[in-house]
Amino acid sequence: MLITRAAAVVLLTAALLTGTAADTPDGRPAPVQWRMAWSAPAEADLVNGTHGTPHYGVSQPALAMAAGQGTVRVHDARTGALVRTLSVAPTTPGNGSRDPVAGVWATSGTVVVFTDDQSRGDQRLHAYDARTGALLWRRAVTIASPRNQASDAGTYEGSPIMVTERGVVLVDQAAEPPALRTLDPRTGTPVARTARPRGCALTADATARSVVLLDHCAGNHLRLASVDPSTLRPNWTRTLPSPPRTLTDDGSPPSLHLVVSGDGYAGVSVGDVSSFYGPDGRLLSTGQEALRAAGSARDSRWSRPMRLNQGATTGGDGALWGDASRWPLPAFLVSVDAGSGRLRALPLDASSTHVSLVGTTPGMAFVLFATGRVAAYTLTYGVPGGHELFDRVPPDAWPDACGLLTAADLRPVADGYVPTPRTPTLFGERLPKPVQCDWIPPVDDAPVVSLSVDWVSSSSAVAAQIFATETARIKQTEIYDAITEDAYLLDYIRSTATGTGGAPEVLVNVGPVIVRLASASRSALRLLAPLVRDELLARYRLPRPVPTAPSNLRWTFPTDGQLRDDPVVAGGAVYAIAGGRVHAMDASSGRPLWTTVIAEFVGGPLRVTDGLVFVEGPGSFHALDARTGRRRWRHPVGPSSTFVVAKRRVILVDGETAVGLDTVSGRELWHFHSADTFSISRPVIDGATVYIDDAGGTVHALDVATGRRRWSVRTGAAKDGSHRATTAAAGKVVYVIGADRRLRALDAATGARRWNTLLGSPVAFPPVPAGDAVYAWGAAGVLYALDARTGRLRWAFAPGAVSFPAELAVDRGRVYLADGDGVLHCLDAVTGMEQWRQSVGADHVSGPIVHAGTVYAGAGGAVHALDGITGARKWRIRTGSQAPSVIAAGGLLYVSAGGDIHALRPTP
């Protein structure tokens, strides 16, 4: 029978609510531990996103993986040694933008590769001898989604290609009904074909020697079958209890999910019903039975791992649900006990975040990490000690989560914090001490602080490995602070599901213990995380970390979200916006002055003038007192508005209307309507004039004080009829680039044309006037330098693709720019000749800026300081943010990096 209320896809995901085979009273060896044997770089995702076919294939002698550029790497599965690289489908100008290798499998003695060259509409299967690399056969196939099928034809969900030792099975999804056909794995010749019944929803998975089918057919019939791949004849068929009518009352089939271990054990879920079956089709257990604490002590034969999962929790009604708290930290390999039907789990020395099970062989499992590596684990046996689920650590050895902080520790945040302990269940077992603790503040405006003991390993080395895999993933995908990072902790901001904000956290690893702290306040975490670290250091008698902060760091300020624009330095203060908060801090010391919440998320920018801070939030434009952060006034705006500020005026541009507001009162002073919608590029203010571009390619010059139009000039259209204009102003001249690739110099007073120059390529960025020249970035990666007086082209420099946003700096007769390959170039401003180049190691470069003869740029997670004359490196400071921005003010450099603002002295 089947037991309902077990979570469907968690079926096997939640397999993790179980113990280990630590119950063999006769002392016979049993699985006790997974240990990493080797690892290698990996370049492909687990499956192909178009076809759902795997990019990795595992067999007893070989691990084969898609390696990019039409190649497949074959490694010895036992040692990890690279055996050979197969050049399956070399890239060509037609297919070079997309790797044609769309599927990889390995069986005993054979590597099978599926290629999909979309540029040619060519799909093929290739088979190679795993020992010699010789091509065995190549065959054209058609793998396509069903089209225009009759409603009763049936459906299929799963990989359209399944490779076994006995046959390569193709699922013809376009047939009515879907059909199966088999090719001989050594010759590629067709050997069998069979049609499935009409009106069935089908899913399938393969073992080394069989294909397992799960289908739900008309009449609410549910069947599980194993077929011989070489003949497509059934080995056995089991009719399963019909799903509850509640799953099928709307006429659509219930969701089907099937996962099969390499040795044939099957986990089935239909809707929210789960069960487990042996290779012979025998029912081993229902979902709830698999999770019961009692198991057979007579039989500890484990299947190969079925899934690689994180922990799960049991709801009050007995259903299985994934654990939203992400506790515990390690990944677990899950098997089923052949005798009792219990699910068995053992931890890995790896974080559970973004890891996947590639495949298994007897005694080995292969795991893919999102950080770009694949690892092989071997299963070790021994006499169970009863704590294998906890990596053989006695539960009493776990620290009390509420004991790692005290109310006195939290007093600088707020007085009167109260601990609330929590003890989640781990695979059906509950630890004797609370492993999670929420510190609840006495007032609503103080932050909650959560502390979780995420894992205690059998050794410091194992804990360090888990910590390393998790921090590597964090550094690849999240915002983190490299300046405050030390050997024991990492401060970062975890992305939220909405993508509009972040969740500040700190991960701490001392000895065998890994702890995670979380709070809405990064300032609180910066204070408390070192206290937890030092408490554990004292407990395990380990040395305190050596300070790693750069010598020229003046101060650092943690915000509670991601910085969306450069900070602004004005009146002895630094202003910045992160998430939905505006922060002000003392420019010299970094001391917080005030924080004002605007909304859940604000994308920036932020401007300061007339003693006010201006920022645009969802639906409203805000003016804040620069000294106190108190809101002075607000003005409604639309979803695509932009603004610019000048003394005594704010100009808001929204749709077809520009509005001039008094900065002090917010009172509307004037408005201007355009025949076309204004462009999303920001207006430009120069002196008493504001220049606004509209979508029709017209530039309007308006009086800042009155809104009176001084002149309007329409630029030309591109060949495709599109209009676009970008503007820059410099005193008596306004420079405008139209969609027609022409750079125009207009008289600022009248709009009269001074000159008009055709550029060699379209220009996507505003022109840059500097000295007696004006510079323009071409979309093709060409920098044009024109004489500002005549418009004559002086020179052109082509570094190739440009970094975005395309910025350049001009200083003392030199032009500094960054290309799309992360290389800084220094050019002679008169001749355009390159004087030096220096790689900063990333494709996205922020800046450069020049201050006191030094060039600063943010790239590759660091700030780089280069000598402006020679390009020699002066210093480099890691920040964590991929392309930190740098501004100079008051003798300091202010670095905006992810969620942090750092103040640096120019000289370390």
The tens digit of pLDDT for each residue in 178-209 reads: 889 999 999 999 999 998 888 888 899 999 89
Structure tokens at 526: 């910066």
Q: What is the pLDDT of residue 296?
A: 32
By DSSP bridging, strand 201-206 and strand 155-157 are parallel
- CA 823 vs CA 367, 776, 806, 838, 840: distances in Å: 36, 19, 13, 6, 6
Q: What is the pLDDT of residue 320?
A: 35
Q: What is the pLDDT of residue 497?
A: 62
How many other CB atoms are found less than 10 A from the CB of residue 511?
18
Round to the nearest angstrom and report the end-to-end CA distance of the chain: 72
Spatial neighbors of 410 by CB under 8 A, at least 6 apart, are: 417, 439, 449, 528
Asked if the peptide bond before residue 434 counts as cis, ω within 30 degrees of 0, the response is no
Longest CA–CA separation in the chain, Å? 99
Q: Which of 146-155, 208-217, 440-449, 696-705 has the lowest mean pLDDT?
A: 146-155
What is the C-alpha separation between 858 and 895, in angstroms, rounded? 9
What is the C-alpha separation between 612 and 628, in angstroms, rounded? 10
User: To the nearest 10°, the Cα dihedral for 547, 548, 551, 557?
Assistant: -100
C-alpha 44: how far from chain center:
15
Provide the sign of the torsion angle of the four alpha carbons 870, 874, 876, 882, taken in this order.
negative
How many other CB atoms are found less than 10 A from the CB of residue 241?
11
Q: Tell me which amino acid residue 98 is.
A: R
Among candidate residues 853, 759, 839, the one with its CA nearest the CA of residue 799: 839
User: To the nearest 10°, the Cα dihedral for 712, 717, 722, 724?
Assistant: -40
CB 105 within 8 Å of CB 163? yes
Spatial neighbors of 49 by CB under 8 A, at least 6 apart, are: none
By DSSP bridging, strand 900-904 and strand 553-558 are antiparallel
CB 710 within 8 Å of CB 695? no
What is the C-alpha separation between 647 and 688, in angstroms, rounded? 10
Superfamily of domain 10-292+305-392, CATH level 4: YVTN repeat-like/Quinoprotein amine dehydrogenase (2.130.10.10)
What is the C-alpha separation between 747 and 470, in angstroms, rounded? 58
Residue for token pair 């040619």: 120
In 207-351, at which residue ranges do the beta strands (DSSP E only) sit?
211-217, 221-227, 234-240, 256-260, 266-270, 273-277, 283-286, 307-309, 312-314, 320-322, 330-336, 343-351
> For 299-310, what is the mean pLDDT?
75
CB 8 within 8 Å of CB 322? no
- CA 82 vs CA 62, 618, 872: distances in Å: 10, 54, 40
Residue length of the chain: 908
Provide the sign of the torsion angle of the four alpha carbons 312, 313, 318, 320, taken in this order.
negative
- DSSP character at residue 676: S
What is the C-alpha separation between 638 and 509, in angstroms, rounded? 47
In 821-868, at which residue ranges do the beta strands (DSSP E only) sit?
823-828, 834-839, 845-851, 854-859, 862-867
Q: What is the pLDDT of residue 322?
A: 38
What is the C-alpha separation between 150 and 39, in angstroms, rounded? 48
Burial degree of 669 (CB within 10 A; 0-12, 13-18, 19+): middle
Q: Which residue has the higher pLDDT, 805 or 113?
A: 113
Q: What is the pLDDT of residue 23?
A: 41
Q: Tell me which amino acid residue 223 is.
A: R
Spatial neighbors of 679 by CB under 8 A, at least 6 apart, are: 693, 694, 695, 724, 725
Provide φ and ψ at 582, rounded to 5°: -105, 130
Q: Is the pLDDT of residue 109 over 90?
A: no
Count, in order, helices (H) and strands (E) of the chain: 5, 75
Structure tokens at 306: 């079925």
Determine what percent of the chain is predicted with pLDDT higher than 90. Answer: 55
Spatial neighbors of 294 by CB under 8 A, at least 6 apart, are: none
Question: Given pLDDT bands bounded at 50, 70 and 90, which one contains residue 795?
Answer: very high
Structure tokens at 241: 């209890």
Q: Is the pLDDT of residue 1 over 50?
A: no
Q: Which of 125-134, 283-292, 760-769, 803-812 has the lowest mean pLDDT?
A: 283-292
- CA 663 vs CA 408, 612, 691: distances in Å: 45, 8, 19
Strand, helix or coil for residue 412: coil
709-714 sheet: strands from edge to edge: 684-686, 689-693, 698-703, 709-714
What is the C-alpha separation between 296 and 342, in angstroms, rounded? 8
> For 733-740, what is the mean pLDDT?
90
Q: Which helix (H) or strand (E) holds 191?
A: strand 190-195
Structure tokens at 832: 């355009």
Q: What is the pLDDT of residue 371?
A: 84
Q: What is the pLDDT of residue 477?
A: 86
Mean pLDDT of the chain: 86
Question: 396-548: which CATH topology?
Answer: Protein Transport Mog1p; Chain A (3.40.1000)
> For 80-96, what is the mean pLDDT?
77
CB 386 within 8 Å of CB 20? no
Q: Give per-residue pLDDT as tens, 828-887.
A: 999 999 999 999 877 788 889 999 999 999 988 899 999 999 999 999 999 887 788 899
Q: Give per-residue pLDDT as tens, 138-193.
A: 999 988 765 545 556 678 888 999 999 999 999 987 777 788 999 999 999 999 99
Structure tokens at 848: 């450069």
Q: Is the pLDDT of residue 307 over 90?
A: no
Burial degree of 673 (CB within 10 A; 0-12, 13-18, 19+): exposed
What is the C-alpha separation between 338 and 340, in angstroms, rounded? 6
Instruction: Encode burial over 297-312: b for 16+ CB neighbours within 10 A, e otherwise.
Output: eeebebbbbbbbbbbb
What is the C-alpha separation between 453 and 435, in angstroms, rounded? 5
Question: Given pLDDT bands bounded at 50, 70 and 90, which one contains residue 14?
Answer: very low
CB 644 within 8 Å of CB 605? no
In 470-580, at which residue ranges do the beta strands (DSSP E only) sit?
479-480, 489-495, 502-510, 513-519, 553-558, 568-570, 573-578
In CATH, the architecture of 801-908 is Beta Barrel (2.40)
Q: Is the pLDDT of residue 807 over 90?
A: no
> For 612-625, what is the mean pLDDT?
92
User: Where are the chain's structural domains?
Assistant: 10-292+305-392, 396-548, 801-908
Find the radius of gyration of the CA atoms of the chain. Answer: 32
Q: Which residue has the higher pLDDT, 80 or 807?
A: 80
